[in-house]
Amino acid sequence: MLAKTLIALGIALVVLGVVLKYAPGLLAWFGRLPGDIAITRANSRVFIPVTSMIIVSLLLTIIVNLFFRR
């Protein structure tokens, strides 16, 4: 089971690396979704990616359920 998880994680990292290297504009929308909070003041900047993290959570939940469902 650990081997299957490590293989899947490795494949996902390779795919993500290729996407970020050769198609940087493909994920430009991520982090600027409606619901992501950005507060900019004179000397500080705070970014709270609420919607983006909900999407990441949903995707990870689906992937984990596909691999560990009995």
Q: Give the containing element (helix H, strand E) for 39.
A: strand 37-40
Contact assessment for residue 52 and residue 34, using Cβ atoms and an 8 Å cutoff: no
The reply to whether 13 and 38 lie within a common domain is no
Q: Is residue 70 over pLDDT 80?
A: no
pLDDT, tens digit, 9 for 90 and up, residues 26-59: 677 777 889 999 999 999 999 999 998 999 899 8
pLDDT of residue 47: 92
The reply to whether 56 and 40 lie within a common domain is yes
- pTM value is 0.61
The reply to whether 51 and 66 lie within a common domain is yes
- Please state the domain count of the chain: 2
The reply to whether 44 and 10 lie within a common domain is no
**DSSP labels, 2-25:** HHHHHHHHHHHHHHHHHHHHH-TT
The reply to whether 69 and 51 lie within a common domain is yes
Spatial CB neighbours of 60, under 8 Å, sequence gap ≥ 6:
none
The domain of 36 spans 31-70
